[in-house]
């Protein structure tokens, strides 16, 4: 089978041939039809992601496909089931084996592309806003990097939860995408974020995927008792948080890492995915996918992600046989 694989540490991933895997007794083999790309894939390629596997390994963190084979102890899945898997790795391939407890059946109304795009971006935003920040109806949510994969989902979910959403992104095209997702107020990345947010009444919850100076400006525009969610550091700088300001304004900075929950509270992720799949079936959410590319163009997809030339999600389509 074909796989987009990193063979040695520090090497770039390449398409290569490898044997088709066989599932262990508690695993399933999935014929992969779609895989969502994530910023973490770029970090894994550099070896700087917190959960980078040892080499060799196949990139691709979230997949959708059809169950082809089940291990002897697997009873809740069968060949032919349409499924999604938050795999963490192994998704950019024609086939993969995954622990059965990570495999979730998807609705018949959900395309493989949508299923591959929903898991990490929507799951992160849903867990961050509902479980961690406890966003309340009537509060103001500030989303930075709002046209990115997680940013757009935070806008959608924030609106579903009854918040007023301020979206920050770079350029009119990306701001237009954020507005289409439901943002109430738009701020260009070239504007003074702190001043604009304060004029709008300040932020009660900050959902920040950029870090650096953007986080610092958002921090200063947060209302007393506000909650800040550092989701990622696409700007390259991890911000240093002044604890004395937390004290004076009674602020909370709340860490969110969806992959961590799979290790100590997997039910949080499973319950979130169940809610998101239901919302999708009801037409309440719809992933924004700016690019669908074949497996042979996986490197191009990562390049688009790195250069911020995409909005929403990039999905790799894999037409693998059973």
Residue 126 backbone dihedrals phi, psi, to 5 degrees = -65, -45
- Per the CB < 8 A criterion, the answer to whether 181 and 152 are in contact is yes
First to last CA, the chain: 11
Alpha-carbon gap, residue 227 to 251, rounded angstroms: 6
pLDDT of residue 234: 83
pLDDT of residue 79: 97
- pLDDT tens for 183-203 read 999 999 999 999 999 999 999
Question: Looking at the structure, do residues 108 and 142 belong to the same domain, yes or no?
Answer: no
For the CA atoms of 149, 167, 272, 302, the dihedral, rounded to the nearest 10 degrees, stands at 10
Residue 104 has pLDDT above 90, yes or no: yes
Q: Which of 232, 253, 274 is the last residue of a domain?
A: 253
Q: Is residue 40 part of a domain?
A: yes
Q: Note whether 178 and 142 are same-domain residues.
A: yes
Both 138 and 200 in one domain: the answer is yes
Decide: helix, strand or coil at residue 58.
strand
- CB 65 within 8 Å of CB 35: no
Q: Which residues of 133-154 are buried (b: 16+ CB within 10 A; e: fewer)?
A: bebeeebbbbbbbbbbbbbbbb
Q: Do residues 19 and 98 both lie within one domain?
A: yes
State the alpha helices, DSSP H only, in 25-143.
Answer: 39-46, 112-126
Task: Say if residue 115 is in the same domain as residue 200.
Answer: no
Residues 9, 114 within the same domain = yes
Q: What is the mean pLDDT of residues 169-176?
A: 96
pLDDT at position 220: 97
69 lies in some domain: yes
Which residue, 253, 279, 306, sits at the end of a domain?
253
The last residue of a domain, from among 253, 272, 304: 253
Residue 322 has pLDDT above 70, yes or no: no
Q: Are residues 193 and 142 in the same domain?
A: yes
> Are 142 and 216 in the same domain?
yes
58 & 168 share domain: no
Do 198 and 296 share a structural domain?
Answer: no
**For the segment 254-279, what is each residue's pLDDT rounded down to a tens digit?**
999 999 999 899 999 999 999 999 99
Q: Is the pLDDT of residue 321 over 90?
A: no
Residue 102 lies in a domain: yes
The answer to whether 250 and 225 are in contact (CB under 8 A) is yes
Find the helix or strand (DSSP H, E) in which 51 lies. Answer: none
Q: Are residues 278 and 194 in the same domain?
A: no
Any domain includes 124: no
pLDDT class for 10, splitting at 50, 70, 90?
A: confident
What six digits make up the tokens of 270? Answer: 């499973």
DSSP 193-228: HHHHHHHTT-EEEEEESS-HHHHHHHHHTEEEEEEE
Average pLDDT over residues 86-114: 96
pLDDT, one tens digit per residue, over 223-243 is: 999 999 999 888 878 999 999
Q: Report pLDDT digits (tens) over 283-311.
A: 999 999 999 999 999 999 999 999 989 99
Q: Which domain holds residue 18?
A: 2-119+259-317
Clarify whether residues 39 and 113 are in a common domain. yes
Task: Write out the two tokens for 237.
Answer: 């700088």
Tokens of 220: 């200063």
User: pLDDT at position 231, please?
Assistant: 93
Q: Which residues face 294 on adjacent strands?
A: 317
Residue 288 maps to a domain? yes
Report long-range pairs for 227-231 (Cβ below 8 Å, ≥24 apart). 227/132, 227/133, 227/134, 227/251, 227/252, 227/253, 227/254, 228/252, 228/253, 228/254, 229/128, 229/129, 229/132, 229/133, 229/205, 229/254, 229/256, 230/255, 230/256, 231/124, 231/128, 231/150, 231/207, 231/256
31: in domain: yes
Count of domains for the chain: 2
Structural domain contains residue 322: no
- pLDDT (0 to 100) of residue 320: 55
Q: Is 127 a domain residue? A: no
- The CATH number that applies at residue 85 is 3.90.180.10
Average pLDDT, the chain: 95
């Amino acid at each position: 089978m074909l796989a987009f694989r990193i063979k040695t540490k520090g090497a770039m991933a390449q398409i290569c041939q490898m044997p088709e895997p066989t599932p262990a007794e508690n695993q399933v083999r999935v014929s992969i039809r779609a895989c969502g790309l994530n910023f973490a894939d770029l970090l894994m390629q550099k070896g700087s992601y917190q959960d980078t596997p040892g080499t060799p390994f196949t990139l691709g963190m979230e997949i959708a496909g059809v169950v082809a084979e089940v291990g002897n102890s697997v009873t809740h899945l069968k060949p032919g089931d349409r499924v999604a898997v938050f795999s963490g790795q192994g998704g950019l391939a024609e086939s993969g084996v995954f622990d059965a407890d990570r495999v979730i059946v998807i609705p018949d109304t959900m395309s493989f592309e949508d299923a591959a795009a929903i898991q990490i971006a929507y799951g992160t935003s849903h867990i961050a806003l509902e479980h961690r920040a406890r966003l309340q109806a009537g509060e103001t949510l500030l989303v930075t990097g709002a046209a990115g994969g997680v940013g757009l989902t935070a806008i959608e979910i924030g609106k579903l939860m009854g918040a007023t959403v301020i979206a920050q992104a770079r350029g009119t095209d990306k701001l237009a995408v954020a507005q289409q997702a439901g943002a109430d107020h738009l701020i260009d990345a070239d504007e003074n974020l702190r001043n604009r947010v304060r004029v709008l009444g300040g932020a009660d919850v900050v959902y920040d995927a950029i870090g650096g100076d953007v986080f610092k400006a958002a921090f200063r525009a947060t209302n007393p008792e506000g909650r800040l969610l550092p989701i990622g550091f696409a700007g390259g700088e991890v911000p240093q948080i002044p604890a004395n300001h937390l004290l004076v304004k009674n602020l909370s900075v709340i860490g969110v890492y969806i992959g961590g929950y799979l290790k100590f509270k997997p039910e949080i992720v499973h319950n979130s995915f169940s809610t998101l799949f239901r919302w999708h079936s009801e037409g309440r959410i719809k992933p924004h996918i700016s690019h669908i590319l074949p497996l042979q163009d996986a490197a191009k997809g990562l390049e688009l992600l790195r250069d911020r030339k995409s909005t929403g999600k990039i999905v790799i389509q894999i037409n693998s046989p059973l």
